[in-house]
Amino acid sequence: MKGGFSYGAPMVYGGPGRYVQGPGELSRQGRFLSWLGCSAYVLFDQGTEDRLCKQIVDGFLGEDLSEPFFKIYDGPCSEISDVDLQGVANAVFSNERNMANEQAKVTKQKLVQLMCEA
């Protein structure tokens, strides 16, 4: 478990435990969400992404969090759609972990090579 996020049982919703609203709060939301872990999956409706994406990314990067994954979703709000979106999010996060593991292997190989050359 890292930062309150268990990869075995992904969190469907996580929030700061309070309602936060006001001018500029989207660009500061990383401080409220940093306890969730390394990544976030953000759903937008059509048209919202253009207006809010930069603020959200800035809020995450300001707290040294990974840039969130974004998806446009204009579908219904139902249990079936929740399950479908959870499957997409699981695939995204699984791919991210695999890429991180591959990068760690490459880094280890480079370190071993440098040690052998020294």
pLDDT reading at 2 higher than 50: no
- State mean pLDDT over 98-116: 68
Q: What is the pLDDT of residues 25-37, one digit of tens each?
A: 888 877 777 776 6
pTM: 0.50
Q: What is the mean pLDDT of the chain?
A: 72
- State mean pLDDT over 81-104: 73
Burial class (CB in 10 A: 0-12, 13-18, 19+), 101: exposed
> Where are the domains positioned within the chain?
25-117
The CA distance from 64 to 70, in Å, is: 18
**Is the CB of residue 67 less than 8 Å from the CB of residue 39?**
no
